[in-house]
């Protein structure tokens, strides 16, 4: 097993988020940014890379909005095999790119979209001896479903609603699979409603059409033609859940709220859930007194640029006590 001891991430209560939205709700944050490479992708990557090595593969390939490449690069390094990653030009947060680079992956920056890159790597994996580790690789979702197992283990039950950002739509499908398996095994008596959120400029499932040029500052979910579209629709229908879109402005508001009120710094795509929470509370979509879990998919340090642009900028001061006191207003 090729592992970096992924998983077992904390499920943290969020009373301030409840206070800021609907105090009757019990809100918990599944902090997936605390995985070894800083995103939930590690749960799937440990399985995908382990199975690739088992099958004798010497190289893996993926297209990525950033976190898959960071994770693939780290687990490939751990396994002693090669990683080839393709990322869309100008649309990957700097932290993720630095991870792929330092772990020794071959990084190709493609002048095109994630969806185009995915199409290319899929064709390569069909014809050459490299294993595809995008979520089209079935082992990815098998690993990612453990997120749902842990939520039930930590909460002692399944939540009433599970809120999650949707990009390529693998994770919402994986969580639903995990919840169903625990339910079938009698470990969870309930099943949650799955509630997905896409960014308004990249909302193919919400709009029910392929988006050729998806746009959002939440680069991890900047995807116009999700690979797991069908599985995600099944998850939404079977769970009696729903999917909605949130604007970049709402995402940034959620991003700041989470960091300032709860002390938790997650990347913008993660905060589509916080934005969605606020929007859905306003629309009266949650039964009062319900238990909600939000998956926070990736760490905030992945994308320091957006953090600095979204908050009060650091101020320069001369190295003098009076000047510092004047700046601080003390």
Ligand X SMILES: *Cc1c(COP(=O)(O)O)cnc(C)c1O
- For residue 112, the 8-state DSSP code is S
- Restricted to residues 308-327, the positions that interact with ligand X (CB under 6 A) are none
Q: 198 - beta bridge partners?
A: 245
Nearest residue to 258 via CA among 9, 92, 34, 20? 20
Q: 68 is written with which tokens?
A: 């898959």
In degrees rounded to 5, what are phi and psi of residue 220? -65, -20
CB of 58 to ligand X, least distance (A): 26
Query: Which residue number has the CB closest to ligand X?
Result: 298
CB nearer to ligand X: pick between 159 and 204: 204
* Burial classification of residue 325, based on how many CB atoms lie within 10 Å of its CB (0-12 exposed, 13-18 middle, 19 or more buried): exposed
CB of 24 to ligand X, least distance (A): 28
3-class secondary structure, 268: helix
Give the residue ranges of DSSP H helices in the chain: 15-20, 41-54, 67-79, 94-102, 114-127, 138-144, 146-155, 170-184, 204-207, 229-238, 248-262, 272-282, 304-310, 321-328
What b/e readout covers 37-63, taking b as 16+ CB neighbours within 10 angstroms? bbbbbbbbbbbbbbbbbeeebebbbbb
- The piece of 79-87, 117-125, 161-169, 307-315 that touches ligand X (CB under 6 A) is 161-169
CB of 135 to ligand X, least distance (A): 6
CA atoms within 13 Å, Cβ hemisphere of 65: 27
CB nearer to ligand X: pick between 67 and 99: 67
Q: Is 115 in the site for ligand X (CB under 6 A)?
A: no
CB nearer to ligand X: pick between 22 and 227: 227
CB of 306 to ligand X, least distance (A): 12
CB of 157 to ligand X, least distance (A): 24
- Restricted to residues 263-282, the positions that interact with ligand X (CB under 6 A) are 267, 269-270
CB of 2 to ligand X, least distance (A): 20
CB nearer to ligand X: pick between 143 and 170: 170
CB nearer to ligand X: pick between 43 and 193: 43
Distance (Å, whole) CA 151 – CA 171 = 14
CB nearer to ligand X: pick between 216 and 291: 216
Residues whose CB is less than 8 angstroms from the CB of residue 229 and which lie 6 or more positions away in sequence, other chains included = 169, 204, 205
CB nearer to ligand X: pick between 22 and 250: 250
Member of 9, 35, 50, 67 binding ligand X (CB under 6 A): 67
- Restricted to residues 163-192, the positions that interact with ligand X (CB under 6 A) are 165-171
CB of 205 to ligand X, least distance (A): 10
CB nearer to ligand X: pick between 159 and 170: 170
CB of 17 to ligand X, least distance (A): 18
- Restricted to residues 211-230, the positions that interact with ligand X (CB under 6 A) are 220-221
- The piece of 2-10, 48-56, 105-113, 160-168 that touches ligand X (CB under 6 A) is 160-168
Asked if residues 53 and 81 have their Cβ atoms less than 8 Å apart, the reply is yes
Q: Residues interacting with ligand X, by CB under 6 A?
A: 39, 41, 67, 135, 165-171, 220-221, 267, 269-270, 297-298
């Amino acid at each position: 097993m090729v592992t970096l001891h992924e998983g077992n991430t904390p499920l943290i209560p969020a009373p301030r988020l409840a206070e800021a939205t609907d105090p009757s709700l019990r809100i918990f944050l599944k902090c997936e940014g605390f995985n070894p490479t800083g995103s939930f992708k590690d749960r799937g990557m440990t399985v995908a890379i382990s199975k690739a090595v088992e099958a004798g593969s010497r190289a893996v390939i993926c297209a990525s909005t950033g976190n898959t490449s960071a994770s693939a690069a780290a687990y490939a390094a751990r396994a002693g095999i090669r990683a080839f990653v393709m990322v869309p030009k100008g649309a990957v947060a700097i932290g993720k790119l630095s991870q792929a680079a330092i772990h020794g992956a071959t990084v190709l920056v493609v002048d095109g979209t994630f969806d185009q890159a995915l199409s290319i790597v899929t064709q390569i994996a069909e014809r050459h001896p490299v294993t595809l580790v995008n979520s089209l690789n079935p082992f990815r979702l098998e690993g990612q479903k453990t997120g749902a197992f842990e939520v039930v283990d930590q909460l002692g039950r399944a939540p009433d609603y599970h809120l999650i950002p949707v990009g390529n739509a693998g994770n919402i499908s994986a969580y639903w699979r995990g919840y169903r398996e625990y339910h079938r095994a009698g470990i969870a008596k309930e099943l949650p409603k799955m509630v997905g959120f896409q960014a308004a400029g990249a909302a193919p499932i919400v709009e029910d059409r392929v988006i050729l040029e998806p746009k959002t500052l939440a680069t991890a979910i900047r995807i116009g033609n999700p690979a797991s579209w069908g599985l995600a629709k099944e998850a939404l229908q079977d769970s009696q859940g729903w999917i909605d879109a949130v604007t970049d402005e709402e995402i940034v508001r959620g991003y700041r709220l989470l960091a300032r009120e709860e002390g938790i710094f997650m990347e913008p795509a993660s905060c589509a859930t916080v934005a969605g929470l606020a929007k859905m509370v306003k629309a009266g979509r949650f039964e009062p007194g319900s238990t909600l879990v939000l998956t926070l998919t990736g760490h905030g340090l992945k994308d320091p640029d957006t953090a600095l642009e979204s908050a009060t900028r650091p101020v320069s001061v001369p190295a003098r006590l009076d000047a510092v006191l004047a700046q601080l207003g003390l």
